[in-house]
């Protein structure tokens, strides 16, 4: 059973000062909980170690996919393969950050050892950065608690990643353009946090929505400065836009971006190879390479015989198009969505930790060259965009 500690003073004032009003909840249930999950130091260490081990396994799985030319199984668009290989083989294109979603690890766990099990890796366009890096930290501070009582070095670790990017790419200018899609304030907040980390690392940072960015296969990536109307070239570009969406919806842009990277006109973050990690088919590859590994759940392309399992589409997000199946194949629960055309995989079902009210908790561990922070999403058996965020305290 999950143990919760009430924190009666909310960080609302701090959030409004940061312009993050969207986090304060528009319905009866606020997005941010007024309590935190209580962990032991050993539980926090187990999350840290699990994420680091899993990332190494993902790298091995990615290399296997490339070596064995298994891109089609992962649902990788053919027009992205060259850019995936190009960025994979060039160590200057580091994976900036991602988030492991994990079951178990707290409140008694599941199975043996820590009970931590990989659910998936949000490697390409992971959100929940502000909540994990800033909000839960502010929540402890607002209640007079020591912020060191958290597994939370997300911001500092991101700064280190941006410093590493500069060190690896001395031939490029330290100019970074961050882009998201319009009308998604949550995405804007995630991008803003990345921008602050990049500035601290020594980047000049600009923001613009992706529909306003100019791309040239001959010259690079450009942002129009509103102060003078001039287009200015930036040598690093972060896009909070999924790679599969770019490849499927903008094939000409995909071709241009491939040439931009080939010609060293820009470094794109996260690199195209992160789509290998983002595809949920990689969960099947991992099970092939590491059968019965304590951090993994059995995964296949057909419902698992005699076992309850979860049907997932290869590139679904926020719980969309997820079905939970009973051991006899009957449907226990399902969520509709817009990703139903994608192929599916089937992952062994596992119970998540719960609190006394029956809410389930999924741990999210950020990885940015190293495991660096923990937060929890709270909701029903299938977590969707109505799930809340719950911070934690280590006692």
Sheet containing 360-367, strands listed edge to edge, beginning at the edge strand earlier in sequence? 4-6, 32-39, 388-394, 371-379, 360-367, 98-103, 117-122
31 CB burial (10 A radius; 0-12, 13-18, 19+):
middle
What is the reported pLDDT for 231?
95
Mean pLDDT along residues 377-383: 85
What is the reported pLDDT for 28?
32
Mean pLDDT along residues 214-221: 98
- Are 141 and 152 in contact by the 8 Å Cβ rule? The answer is no
Which stretches within 23-153 are classed as H helix?
A: 41-67, 81-89, 129-130, 136-142
Q: Are strands 267-269 and 236-239 parallel, antiparallel or unpaired?
A: parallel
DSSP 304: P
Query: Greater confidence, 203 or 14?
Result: 203
What is the reported pLDDT for 278?
96
Mean pLDDT along residues 356-372: 96
pLDDT band at 320 (very low <50, low <70, confident <90, very high): confident
pLDDT at 56 over 80: yes
Which of 25-29, 126-130, 215-219, 326-330 shows the lowest per-residue confidence on average (mean pLDDT)?
25-29
What is the reported pLDDT for 183?
85
pLDDT band at 253 (very low <50, low <70, confident <90, very high): very high
Q: What is the pLDDT of residues 28-46, one digit of tens each?
A: 345 678 899 999 999 999 9
pLDDT band at 22 (very low <50, low <70, confident <90, very high): low
DSSP 238: E
Mean pLDDT along residues 222-239: 95
What is the reported pLDDT for 336?
79
pLDDT at 27 over 70: no
Residue 159 C-alpha from the chain's centroid: 17
Cα(263)–Cα(253) distance, integer angstroms = 15
What is the reported pLDDT for 19?
66
Q: What is the pLDDT of residues 84-140, one digit of tens each?
A: 999 999 999 999 999 999 999 998 644 334 699 999 999 999 999 988 998 898 889
pLDDT band at 232 (very low <50, low <70, confident <90, very high): very high
Where does the chain show beta strands of DSSP type E?
4-6, 32-39, 98-103, 117-122, 175-179, 204-207, 214-216, 220-224, 231-234, 236-239, 267-269, 299-300, 309-313, 323-325, 331-334, 344-348, 360-367, 371-379, 388-394
Planar angle of CA 245, 246, 252, nearest 5 degrees = 140
What is the reported pLDDT for 29?
41
What is the reported pLDDT for 173?
98
- Counting Cα atoms < 13 Å in the Cβ hemisphere of 75 gives 24
Cα(150)–Cα(152) distance, integer angstroms = 5
What is the reported pLDDT for 292?
97
Tally of residues, the chain? 395
What is the reported pLDDT for 332?
83
Winning range, highest mean pLDDT, from 182-186, 267-271, 333-337: 267-271
pLDDT band at 179 (very low <50, low <70, confident <90, very high): very high
Mean pLDDT along residues 297-302: 98
Average model confidence (pLDDT) across the chain: 91
99 CB burial (10 A radius; 0-12, 13-18, 19+):
buried
Q: Model-level pTM?
A: 0.94
Closest CA to 215 of 239, 193, 194, 192: 239
Mean pLDDT along residues 76-84: 98
pLDDT at 333 over 90: no
Mean pLDDT along residues 294-307: 97
Tokens of 365: 């561990």
């Amino acid at each position: 059973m999950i143990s919760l500690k009430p924190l009666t003073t909310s960080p609302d004032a701090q959030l409004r000062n940061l312009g993050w009003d969207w986090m304060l909840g528009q319905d009866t249930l606020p997005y941010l909980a007024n309590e935190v999950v209580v962990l032991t130091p050993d539980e926090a260490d187990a999350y840290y170690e699990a994420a680091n081990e899993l990332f190494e396994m993902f790298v091995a799985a990615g290399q296997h996919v490339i070596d064995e030319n298994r891109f089609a199984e992962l649902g990788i668009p053919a027009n992205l393969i060259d850019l995936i290989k190009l960025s994979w083989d060039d160590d200057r294109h580091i994976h900036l950050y991602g988030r492991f979603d994990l079951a178990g690890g707290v409140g008694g766990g599941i199975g043996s050892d820590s009970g931590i099990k990989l659910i998936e890796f949000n490697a390409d366009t992971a959100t929940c950065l502000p909540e994990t890096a800033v909000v839960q930290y502010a929540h402890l501070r607002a209640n007079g608690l020591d912020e060191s009582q958290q597994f939370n070095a997300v911001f500092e670790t991101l700064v280190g990643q941006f410093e590493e990017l500069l060190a690896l790419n001395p031939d490029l200018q330290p100019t970074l353009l961050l882009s998201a899609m319009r009308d998604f304030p949550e995405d804007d907040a995630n991008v803003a946090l990345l921008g602050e980390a990049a500035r601290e690392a020594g980047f000049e940072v600009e923001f613009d929505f992706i529909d306003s960015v100019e791309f040239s296969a001959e010259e690079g990536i450009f942002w129009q400065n509103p102060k003078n109307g001039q287009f200015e070239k930036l040598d690093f570009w972060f896009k909070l836009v999924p790679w599969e969406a770019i490849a499927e919806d903008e094939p000409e842009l995909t071709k241009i971006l491939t040439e931009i990277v080939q010609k060293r006109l820009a470094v794109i973050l996260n690199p195209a190879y992160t789509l290998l990690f983002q595809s949920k088919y990689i969960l099947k590859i991992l099970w092939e390479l590491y059968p019965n590994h304590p951090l993994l759940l059995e995964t296949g392309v057909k419902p698992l015989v005699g076992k309850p399992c979860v049907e997932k589409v290869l590139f679904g997000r926020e719980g969309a198009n997820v079905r939970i199946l009973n051991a006899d194949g009957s449907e226990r629960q399902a969520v509709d969505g817009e990703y139903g055309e994608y192929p599916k995989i089937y992952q062994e079902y596992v119970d998540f930790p719960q609190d006394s009210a029956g809410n389930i908790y999924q741990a999210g561990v950020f990885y940015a060259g190293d495991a660096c922070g923990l937060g929890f999403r709270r909701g029903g058996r299938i977590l969707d965009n109505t799930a809340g965020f719950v911070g934690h305290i280590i006692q």
